[in-house]
Amino acid sequence: MIPRKRILLLLAPLMMAFTPASAQRLAINNNLVFDLAGALSAGVEIPLSASTSLETYGSLRPWKRGETSVHKHWLVQSQFRLWPCQLMNGFFWGPYVHGGEFNIGNSDLFFGLIKPLETHRYEGWLLGGGVGIGYEYALAKHWNLGAEIGAGYTYIRYKKYDCEVCGTEKGAETYNYFGVNRLGLSIIYVF
- Rounded CA-CA distance 95/172 in Å is 30
pLDDT attached to residue 131: 98
- Rounded CA-CA distance 50/82 in Å is 10
Indicate the Cα dihedral angle 148, 154, 158, 162, nearest 10°. Answer: 60
pLDDT attached to residue 9: 45
Task: Compute the chain's Rg from CA coordinates.
Answer: 21
pLDDT attached to residue 161: 86
Q: Is 172 left (phi over 0), alpha (psi -120 to 50) or beta?
A: beta
Note down pLDDT in tens along the chain; length 191 residues: 445 554 444 444 444 444 444 445 899 999 999 888 789 999 999 999 999 999 999 999 987 766 667 778 899 999 999 999 999 999 999 999 999 999 888 766 554 445 566 677 889 999 999 999 999 999 999 999 999 999 999 999 999 887 765 677 888 999 999 999 999 999 999 99
Q: Return the number of other C-beta atoms located less than 10 Å from residue 18's C-beta.
A: 6
pLDDT attached to residue 71: 79
- Rounded CA-CA distance 117/104 in Å is 7
Encode pLDDT of 63-88 as tens digits.
776 666 777 889 999 999 999 999 99
- Rounded CA-CA distance 144/135 in Å is 10
Answer whether 64's CB lies under 8 Å from 38's CB. no
Answer whether 165's CB lies under 8 Å from 1's CB. no
pLDDT attached to residue 67: 61
Answer whether 81's CB lies under 8 Å from 93's CB. yes
pLDDT attached to residue 117: 63
